[in-house]
Chain A
Amino acid sequence: MQLTQLTIDAARSAVQERKTTALALAEAHYARIQDEDEQIGAFLTLCKERALEQADRIDRMAAEGKPLPPLGGVPVGIKDVMSTRGVRTTAGSKILGHYIPPYDCTAVARMEAAGAMVLGKTNCDEFAMGSSNENSAFRPVHNPRDLSRVPGGSSGGSAAAVAADMAVVALGSDTGGSIRQPASFCGVVGLMPTYGRVSRYGLIAFASSLDHIGPLTKTVKDAAIVLRTIAGRDPMDATSADLPVPDYVAEIVKPVRGLRLGVAKEYFGEGLDGEVRHAVESAIDRLKSLGCEILQVSLPHTPYAIPAYYLIATAEASSNLARYDGVKFGLRVEGDSLDDMYEKTRAAGFGAEVRRRVLIGTYALSAGYYDAYYLKAQRVRTLIARDFAAAFERVDCILTPTAPSAAFAIGEKSDNPIAMYLNDVFTVPANLAGLPAISFPAGLSGDGLPLGLQITGRAFDEETVLRVAAVLEGAASFRHLPSFIAGA
């Protein structure tokens, strides 16, 4: 048995049936991190003691013949924007380079309560701001499928860890595509749940009205298992919805016959890679053959999503990041006065992209520009949400590409903020409307790079999104394993 190539159920059953142990699974993944991560850079911090303590707990349960919880013995990575008690949490930033949270993020606590072993914290763009992982203050992440390319961002470390078999599952966060775009670039599954479905308590805030936590996994079923684990009301997060959590695992095996799938013409304009277009067409053929109805829909305000997003996200970020002032936690650079200390601390602690976004956000909220920029963007957000509402009167979910192209080269877009922002053109609309969306591997480009497709659904209808992705993922027929692995 290849211990680092298992799905959640396979890993859990193997431990339950005593074919292996949680300890062996943890050790196998740490060995793989030891061997491969120097060239990939997916992990920022490892917490072996914590993982092995959990392994021991799970192995004792298995030895006593007790049924294991759903993630019993499953090794996971956690994006370094989620707080972990006693384990350094940096958000990819120098300003939190030595920060040790005094409490756990709810999503992490729920994963561990369900038996998961937290191996460590995964690399990301600083404060989750970026689409390439080049904005990490510590080191860039390399795409396991082609080390000269970016893994996507901002959850690039989480996507790379799963793609390179250094974790079975990872948690990521998604504010404008930060789970789905790296999933697409690395050839794994990435699910952004509905806004309110998963508690954000303990998530280091970027843009609070757009931030989501969700899983990156090797299969759609694994995404369903993780979502079932982390979803549901949390009194510690007032934005978490008090709605029942369906059994997603049971839902995804239901047939897709009769479902109405929308294809939005606005997602197929110029700039879209021919191979990506082909992947969408193949998926459409497959859905038709399974008895789905394909309908053309229009989301006319799509071209305005990126500009609206970059005003709203930066405005919220400028406010959320005001807390990093060198007083209660994080870096401090001494100054002549309190203000001088604030300014020097923030200048030394924040990287270039974070400073750029804080300045744009501050500008958009400043006197004289608030109505023209921030309020205008919020009105456009309403129009984008209405586009989706109208489309969902006719269809059950919408099929689009996840990103305009496969993974690009490291350094290719790092000097041009706009070119970088345009990577998120297909993912940002779901954040603005707060809708669930999944990216799953749909094929390989001519260069052997993964291509992802995205299914977007109605609010709180993750079941349908997962169900459609589940019938399409098999059609891609490529192994998620990166080619550099010896003997793979």
Chain B
Amino acid sequence: MKVTEKDVAYVADLANLELSAQERAGMVRDLNSILDYIERLSELDTSNVEPMAQVSDRYGVDESKQGSERFAYASREDVVEGLRKSLPQDVALANAPDADGTFFRVPKVIER
């Protein structure tokens, strides 16, 4: 058992997920079986292998540049409403569970 109930509670807290005691026990079992399965990756020596976060650098990339400069092909002019008009405020708020016409409303976060 790599993962304990305490670990699951910690991770659930990080992920903002409320779990009942019963769900927590089920997740301990599932996470352990999944992590046991994933353990087989340690059979591979990857000490000299670069990590691959995405595959987008197969086209358009300027190989002579470093960092984000390599992806200049994907950049665009920094102008207001350059690609499309912004959503009108009423449209942007239309799906909100609670809004006052100007702002999204949430439970009080600052005590004073």
Chain A residues with a Cβ under 8 A of chain B: 99-100, 102-103, 195-196, 208-209, 235-236, 238-239, 241-243, 301, 303-304, 306-308, 310-311, 318, 322, 325-332, 334-344, 346-347, 350, 355-356, 358-360, 362-363, 366, 373, 375-383, 385, 417-418, 421, 433-434, 459-460
A–B pairs, 27, beta carbons within 8 Å = A100-B95, A102-B91, A195-B55, A195-B56, A196-B56, A239-B56, A242-B73, A304-B40, A326-B97, A334-B107, A337-B107, A338-B109, A346-B15, A346-B18, A356-B27, A359-B8, A359-B11, A359-B15, A366-B11, A373-B38, A375-B51, A378-B53, A379-B46, A379-B52, A381-B52, A385-B52, A433-B55
Write out the residue numbers on chain A whose beta carbons fall within 8 Å of the beta carbon of B14.
362, 366
Write out the residue numbers on chain B whose beta carbons fall within 8 Å of the beta carbon of A103.
87
Of the residues A241, A375, A417, contact of B30 by C-beta under 8 Å:
A417
A358 touching B17, Cβ below 8 Å: yes
Write out the residue numbers on chain B whose beta carbons fall within 8 Å of the beta carbon of A360.
31, 34-35
CA–CA, A418 and B7, complex, Å: 21
* Min CB gap A442→B, angstroms: 28
CA–CA, A337 and B16, complex, Å: 13
Write out the residue numbers on chain B whose beta carbons fall within 8 Å of the beta carbon of A331.
97
Beyond A330-B95, A421-B37, 16 additional contacts (C-beta under 8 Å) are: A196-B58, A239-B54, A243-B59, A311-B38, A322-B16, A347-B18, A356-B31, A356-B34, A359-B27, A363-B7, A379-B46, A379-B50, A380-B41, A382-B49, A382-B50, A418-B37
Return the chain A residue nearest B99 by Cβ.
A328
B38 touching A343, Cβ below 8 Å: no
B58 touching A459, Cβ below 8 Å: yes
* Number of chain B residues whose Cβ lies closer than 8 Å to a Cβ of chain A: 57
Of the residues A195, A236, A301, A346, contact of B16 by C-beta under 8 Å:
A346
CA–CA, A102 and B92, complex, Å: 8
Of the residues B18, B30, B41, B46, contact of A344 by C-beta under 8 Å:
B18
Known A-B contacts A102-B91, A379-B50; A209 and B18 likewise in contact (beta carbons under 8 Å)? no
B59 touching A307, Cβ below 8 Å: no
10 smallest CB-CB distances across A and B, nearest first, come from A434-B55, A378-B51, A332-B97, A329-B95, A379-B46, A343-B18, A347-B18, A238-B74, A307-B38, A342-B16
CA–CA, A376 and B49, complex, Å: 9
Write out the residue numbers on chain B whose beta carbons fall within 8 Å of the beta carbon of A335.
107
CA–CA, A306 and B37, complex, Å: 9
CA–CA, A328 and B94, complex, Å: 9
B95 touching A99, Cβ below 8 Å: yes
Write out the residue numbers on chain B whose beta carbons fall within 8 Å of the beta carbon of A328.
95-96, 104
Write out the residue numbers on chain A whose beta carbons fall within 8 Å of the beta carbon of B109.
337-338
A379 touching B51, Cβ below 8 Å: yes
* Min CB gap B111→A, angstroms: 10
A241 touching B59, Cβ below 8 Å: yes
Return the chain B residue nearest A96 by Cβ.
B95
Known A-B contacts A102-B92, A346-B16; A362 and B11 likewise in contact (beta carbons under 8 Å)? yes
Chain B residues with a Cβ under 8 A of chain A: 3, 7-8, 11-12, 14-19, 23, 27, 30-31, 33-35, 37-44, 46, 49-56, 58-60, 71, 73-74, 76, 83-84, 87, 91-92, 94-98, 104, 106-109
Write out the residue numbers on chain B whose beta carbons fall within 8 Å of the beta carbon of A239.
54, 56, 74
A417 touching B8, Cβ below 8 Å: no
* Most chain B beta carbons < 10 A, residue from A196, A303, A330, A350: A196
* Min CB gap B68→A, angstroms: 11
B15 touching A318, Cβ below 8 Å: yes
CA–CA, A311 and B54, complex, Å: 14
CA–CA, A356 and B49, complex, Å: 29
Write out the residue numbers on chain A whose beta carbons fall within 8 Å of the beta carbon of B84.
236
Return the chain B residue nearest A433 by Cβ.
B55
A343 touching B11, Cβ below 8 Å: no
Write out the residue numbers on chain A whose beta carbons fall within 8 Å of the beta carbon of B11.
359, 362-363, 366
* Min CB gap A95→B, angstroms: 11
* Min CB gap A422→B, angstroms: 9
Write out the residue numbers on chain A whose beta carbons fall within 8 Å of the beta carbon of B7.
363
B31 touching A359, Cβ below 8 Å: yes
Write out the residue numbers on chain B whose beta carbons fall within 8 Å of the beta carbon of A235.
76, 83
Return the chain B residue nearest A363 by Cβ.
B11
Return the chain B residue nearest A434 by Cβ.
B55
Of the residues A241, A329, A350, contact of B17 by C-beta under 8 Å:
A350
A347 touching B19, Cβ below 8 Å: yes
A376 touching B46, Cβ below 8 Å: yes
B60 touching A241, Cβ below 8 Å: yes
B98 touching A332, Cβ below 8 Å: yes
CA–CA, A241 and B108, complex, Å: 44
Write out the residue numbers on chain A whose beta carbons fall within 8 Å of the beta carbon of B41.
304, 307-308, 311, 376-377, 380
Write out the residue numbers on chain B whose beta carbons fall within 8 Å of the beta carbon of A334.
107
A338 touching B15, Cβ below 8 Å: no
B59 touching A339, Cβ below 8 Å: no
A301 touching B44, Cβ below 8 Å: yes
Known A-B contacts A236-B83, A376-B41, A376-B46; A381 and B51 likewise in contact (beta carbons under 8 Å)? yes
Write out the residue numbers on chain B whose beta carbons fall within 8 Å of the beta carbon of A301.
44
Write out the residue numbers on chain B whose beta carbons fall within 8 Å of the beta carbon of A236.
83-84
Return the chain B residue nearest A239 by Cβ.
B56
A209 touching B73, Cβ below 8 Å: no
